[in-house]
Amino acid sequence: MSSAPPSPLAPLPPSVRADLLYRAARFELDGRLWQAALGIGGETPATPIAERPSSGLLRLDTLIEALAADDRLQPVLTPEPVTLPPADQPTGPLALGSNQALAPALERAAARTGLDPAMLASIIDAEAARRRDGSWDPASRNPRSSAAGLGQFLSGTWIDEARRPGSWLHGIADAQGWLARDGSVRAEARPALLALRTDPAASIEAIADHAAANLRRLGARGFALAGRAETARAAYLAHHLGLGDAMRYLGGGLGDDRAGRLLAAQVGEAAAERRIAAAGSASGAHRQWLDHYVDQRIRPARFLAA
């Protein structure tokens, strides 16, 4: 009798195997919840979910987190040392209006990671909710997922950043004793770690690390990025979609099933169906919506002094 082939998970450390199995099971459960949620119907405005008021529906880390979960079903890897593309014009002083107090934090994070601080500001501007005075709300929360903070990091993505050697958040977690010997986050430390998402400086540092890692990985996969605008667009797509979907989006495009679910999560099922009918495909409708949003919000030059 021939023996069964070894599991592809066998070479991984026990903690990583357990984490992958948990996430796979959670993704399957959240997928069913997602389908049930879309059956509710109704249309919502074409604005980021983070900026919508709570509907009282599904607070079990679902919807957007469920859609992003498949990009996290892999061990955390340290990116290859790929040189980041240069900006197409010198970076001048930041002009953030009611958010000017955050300029030093943005400049520190940008200097540490080699990124454009105006690009980081544009990512925050596209993700965070706003207070009455127009300033970014560091306590932003998405009622339909676990996303929180200026960068709207999902719980799992934030924990992954803390586990990734070399990141600012990893240094904090290590110094605080929040990491186990195998590099995983201690269960009792997760509330304190996740609470850091609402600290503006911590969120900015994590946004910078996440963007730098994603841009390096995109470069390593052969995506040519040149200039401030193109680099900022790619960084935001990876932040918004997750690295896997961003590569597909920048390459051949997302499939209709995936694109349709992502579009419905942003504009509501009824509005998504109308957009899909008008565009002729879910992939085309989602691209029209997201490209328009990115063109409107990811504009680093807006955050530079004239």
Tens digits of per-residue pLDDT, 77-101? 333 444 555 544 546 799 999 999 9
**What's the whole-number mean pLDDT along residues 133-137?**
94
Mean pLDDT, residues 186-190 taken together: 95
CA atoms within 13 A on the CB side of 296: 11
Token pair 């009282």 in the structure block, residue: 56
- Asked if the structure places residue 7 within a domain, the reply is no
Counted domains in the chain: 1
Q: Which two tokens stand for residue 5?
A: 């082939």
Is 194 contained in some domain?
A: no
Q: Name the β-bridge partners of 295.
A: none
* Residues in the chain, overall count: 306
Q: At 284, which amino acid appears?
A: G
Region 119-148: what's the mean pLDDT?
Answer: 91
More confident residue, 253 or 210: 210
Residue 39 lies in a domain: yes
Hey, what are 35's tokens? 């389908």
Contact 207, 120 (CB under 8 A): yes
Flag whether 175 is in a domain. Answer: no
Top-confidence residue, 66 or 184: 184
Any domain includes 188? no
Residue numbers of the domain that contains 109 = 14-154+200-303
Whether the predicted pLDDT of 27 surpasses 50 = no
* Residue 182 is assigned to a structural domain of this protein: no
**Cα separation of 258 and 46, whole Å?**
18
CA distance 163 to 179: 8
- Average pLDDT of 213-237? 88
Check residue 160 and give its pLDDT.
94
Stated pTM of the model: 0.71
- The answer as to whether 19 is a domain residue is yes
pLDDT score for 54: 32
176 within domain boundaries: no
Q: Which residues pair with 141 in a beta bridge?
A: 148
Do residues 137 and 202 lie in contact, with contact meaning Cβ atoms separated by under 8 Å? no
Q: How far apart are the first and last CA of the chain?
A: 76
Contact between residue 30 and residue 62 where contact means Cβ atoms under 8 Å apart = yes
DSSP tag of 136: B
Check: CB of residue 228 under 8 Å from CB of residue 300. yes
Asked if 291 and 234 count as a contact pair (C-beta separation under 8 A), the reply is no
